[in-house]
Copies of this chain bind each other. A is one copy, B any other.
């Protein structure tokens, strides 16, 4: 068997452009179809959702809502071993995300000018979980646990029903331990439309999270410019592994395949010093591929895989930072000499005992990460993804009077006379006895406590 993996030895600048190219995503083609689904849901609400579920999921359901009894009955089917594993993942995800909640300082930017920020939860969040044979309950944990920690009031989960009209027990159990407040049986672009605009049954949310197929991705893009925020732009999953010659070829092959099995368009890049190691990895890929139940995915997506052999650190760093991988696995002993120069990546896995699966499931970091090069500008999901901050200011009379001339000249220069006037009129009020007294900043509660 010949694998379609491309190997580059000391790539030149033209090779580098080719290496960092992603498998092409042709979302635009879906535009009309998805727009039509969204429009129909806006018009017909629940009826449209039930109809689309019949059409796309092939199942006729009576009710969109999943009852507490269904959750309980489903949860009972989950083995104790799986429950324990989910609970452990939950503890670690909680520990890591809880540490992200920080109190902001009160800043007196100049005498009598107090500015501060406060984090506030996004009130209603929607979490989309894809259906299919493999129940992605880990995304339930990754998205709902931080939402609870952030203080979100309503955490609304939607996921398509299976052929019997049920939700997979593992998803129901994960939802029950993650603080989900409502669950609805609806998938695809129609679920995103329901969360974005609300229907008779499904409440409109403020932000939508979660993975999905191309229809879901397109729908998230479309609603995100209109009414609702989304976690981040989505693309196929990807990994970049950088290893030294001491790395175990079997481990390198396993790490490449654990990315490649995600789907036909997943991408694995590997940077090694020597072609010799590259050859060993390819041998291992062949051996391990045979053992995989999802080998048709993995084998197909290997055509997007590249192995790059280079001894030049500068070139390797350029590749990493320009590619901006979702996952970066660092199997080199000299990590500490690279650390400061890694600027673009979603999540980094350091050393031989940190497989990507650790972060995908149980170490505590979030697995919802920027793909397709978005790591240049986006972070993965964190506590902050479920919050926004509000800025506050309170000026004392003295602070105001001192800053007033500065504000007035700046406003006047921008031609915003009413902005200047809002300052002048306060200055003038001071000249009138009994007007606009300031008990302001001394009062209890005027500044954050």
Contact flag A346-B390 (CB < 8 Å), given A86-B410, A207-B377, A339-B445: yes
In whole Å, how far is A417's beta carbon from the nearest beta carbon of chain B? 5
Contact residues of A between 167 and 212, Cβ < 8 Å to B = 170, 206-207
Provide the residues of chain B in CB contact with A400, threshold 8 Å: 353-354, 358
Contact flag A440-B105 (CB < 8 Å), given A294-B417, A362-B403: no
Asked whether any CB of chain B lies closer than 8 Å to the CB of A30, the reply is no
Provide the residues of chain B in CB contact with A409, threshold 8 Å: 81-82, 85
Please tell me which stretch of A7-15, A40-48, A250-258, A303-311 contacts chain B, meaning at least 4 of its Cβ atoms lie within 8 angstroms of it. A250-258
Asked whether any CB of chain B lies closer than 8 Å to the CB of A360, the reply is yes
Main secondary structure of the interface of A (DSSP, over half): mixed
A377 CA to B82 CA, complexed, in Å: 34
A397 CA to B351 CA, complexed, in Å: 10
Contact flag A358-B395 (CB < 8 Å), given A117-B100, A250-B429, A440-B353: yes
A229 CA to B378 CA, complexed, in Å: 8
Contact flag A229-B445 (CB < 8 Å), given A113-B363, A248-B436, A407-B358: no
Provide the residues of chain B in CB contact with A348, threshold 8 Å: 390-393
Tell me whether B403 and A363 are in contact (CB under 8 A): yes
Contact residues of A between 383 and 403, Cβ < 8 Å to B = 384, 388-397, 399-400, 403
Interface residues of A (CB under 8 A from B): 81-82, 84-86, 88-89, 91-92, 95-96, 99-100, 102, 104-105, 107, 109-110, 113, 115, 117, 120-123, 133-138, 170, 206-207, 221, 224-225, 228-229, 233, 248, 250-251, 254-255, 257-258, 260-262, 288, 291-294, 298, 333, 335-337, 339, 342-366, 370, 374-380, 382, 384, 388-397, 399-400, 403, 405-407, 409-411, 413-423, 425-426, 429, 435-441, 443-446
